[in-house]
């Protein structure tokens, strides 16, 4: 089967967490014998920021890490994409694409009944900025892939689509896996972007203050950290290390004993059941995780068994202190979290789901899919 994907970026994960999942899904599809073509805008903000900050070296490193993956850069002023979708069986269009491209691909689908077209939403804008999402013309799309039930229900309730499926993100377990041969030299690691004030208070209470109180060693990775954020990290006794390529994350996780998850406020308030990809990846690497509260409305995990939950800073300090003092407890928590990922939340599972959705909507006369 030929699959065409229009996404913000495969090449860059600078402030672009969806690249993690995209890389895993494309890798899995290729391993199953499908043909996959990914298209991304040449002026995409993630890639441009990465190049401005680090030059071409990260892109070269990406190609070394994923030798089978490639992305076609297109001119955002391009008006005709018929050649790109010619011969496709399934086309996926990420929500972080301009409305004009989304609409044009819809018109192409209306004129070509032999392939199927799905819109993929992995952001909170459907809830936080519904007027912006309502600009997307999806009447010729065959449906929407939403990364949580609340987003799926919103598309259906607002009449933005007639069909929608929940398609959660997951861990690329060929890449994100335990590395027991690496020595754990530090206490705590945090990998995440500072953002736009969506979780500043929470990061102080649940990450920086506990690290300072417990005198923990460790590192912070991410982008968009203003000077005051970097100063706060240093005051907490942690070392700020800036952007980290997602394919280097497992080795960094392996050098630390524990991590924490602090979801952004919009996800906690408006998107129950959607944890973002970071917990999937940490658990896949066998790293004990302590999370700030979020409502697991869809039963993805077993809070308290797969990871611990800290309601506030005091409970976070308590959990971190106990975990760091008890290796057996860390190993038990890590093993349970890893087992849940391997059983339910890998890119292999998500590709199975995607191919099942395609079988559901595919034309009667279609090519035989690879297993």
Cα separation, 337 vs 229, in Å, equals 30
Find the mean pLDDT for residues 195-212.
91
Provide the 8-state DSSP code for 117: E
- Grade residue 127 by pLDDT with cuts at 50, 70 and 90: confident
Q: Is the pLDDT of residue 371 over 60?
A: no
pLDDT for res 230 = 97
Q: Check whether 315 has a pLDDT greater than 60.
A: yes
CA distance 263 to 96: 20
| Vertex 184: Cα angle to 308 and 12 (nearest 5) | 80
6-44 per-position pLDDT tens digit: 999 999 999 999 999 999 999 999 999 999 999 999 999
For the chain, where are the E strands, in sequence order?
Answer: 2-6, 35-41, 71-74, 90-94, 116-121, 143-146, 164-166, 186-191, 218-221, 239-240, 256-261, 289-291, 308-309
Q: What is the mean pLDDT of residues 80-86?
A: 97
Residue-range domain boundaries for the chain = 2-170+346-361, 186-344
Helix axes 277-284, 327-344, angle to 10 degrees: 120
pLDDT confidence of residue 273: 83
Asked whether the beta carbons of 4 and 35 are under 8 A apart, the reply is no
pLDDT for 265 equals: 73
Compute the average pLDDT of residues 1-9: 98
Identify the pLDDT of residue 266. 66
Same fold, 2-170+346-361 and 186-344: yes
R_g (Cα) of the chain, nearest Å: 21
What pLDDT score was predicted for residue 289?
Answer: 98
CATH code assigned to 186-344: 3.40.50.2000
Where does 135-250 show beta strands of DSSP type E? 143-146, 164-166, 186-191, 218-221, 239-240
Residue 123: the pLDDT is 84
pLDDT at 368: 52
Architecture of domain 2-170+346-361: 3-Layer(aba) Sandwich (3.40)
Which residues, in sequence order, are bridge partners of residue 369? none
Rounded to whole angstroms, the Cα distance separating 360 from 156 reads 18
Average pLDDT over residues 185-203: 90
- Hey, which residues does 60 pair with through a beta bridge? none
Mean pLDDT of 103-122: 96
Cβ neighbours for 339, distance < 8 A, ≥ 6 positions apart:
none
At 235 the pLDDT is: 98
pLDDT mean over 293-312: 95
């Amino acid at each position: 089967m030929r699959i065409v994907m229009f996404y913000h970026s495969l090449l860059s994960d600078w402030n672009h967490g969806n690249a993690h999942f995209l890389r895993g899904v494309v890798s899995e599809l290729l391993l199953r014998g499908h043909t996959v073509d990914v298209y991304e805008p040449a002026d995409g903000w993630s890639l441009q920021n990465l190049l401005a900050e680090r030059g071409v070296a990260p892109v070269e490193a990406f190609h070394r890490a994923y030798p089978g993956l490639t992305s076609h850069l297109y001119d955002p002023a391009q008006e005709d994409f018929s050649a790109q979708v010619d011969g496709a069986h399934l086309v996926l269009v990420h929500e972080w694409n301009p409305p004009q491209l989304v609409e044009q691909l819809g018109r192409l689908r209306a004129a070509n009944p032999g392939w199927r077209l799905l819109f993929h939403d992995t952001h909170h804008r459907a809830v936080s900025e519904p007027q912006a999402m309502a600009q997307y013309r999806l009447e010729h799309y065959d449906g929407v892939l939403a990364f949580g039930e609340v987003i799926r229900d919103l598309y259906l309730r607002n009449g933005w689509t007639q069909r929608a499926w929940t398609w959660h993100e997951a861990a690329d377990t060929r890449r994100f896996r335990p590395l027991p041969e690496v020595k754990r030299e530090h206490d705590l690691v945090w990998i995440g972007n500072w953002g736009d004030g969506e979780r500043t208070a929470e990061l102080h209470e649940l990450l920086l203050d506990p690290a300072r109180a417990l005198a923990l060693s460790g590192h912070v990775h991410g982008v968009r950290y203003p000077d005051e954020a970097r100063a706060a990290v240093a005051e907490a006794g942690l070392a700020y290390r800036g952007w980290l390529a997602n394919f280097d994350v497992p080795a960094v996780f392996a050098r630390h004993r524990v991590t924490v998850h602090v979801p952004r406020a919009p996800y906690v308030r408006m998107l129950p059941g959607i944890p973002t990809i970071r917990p999937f990846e940490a658990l896949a690497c066998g790293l004990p995780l302590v999370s700030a509260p979020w409502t697991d409305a869809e039963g993805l995990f077993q809070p308290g068994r797969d990871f611990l939950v800290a309601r506030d800073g005091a409970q976070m300090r308590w959990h971190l202190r106990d975990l760091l003092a008890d290796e057996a407890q860390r190993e038990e928590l890590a093993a349970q979290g890893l087992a849940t990922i391997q059983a339910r939340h890998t890119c292999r599972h998500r590709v199975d789901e995607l191919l099942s959705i395609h079988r559901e909507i595919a034309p009667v006369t279609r090519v035989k899919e690879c297993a």
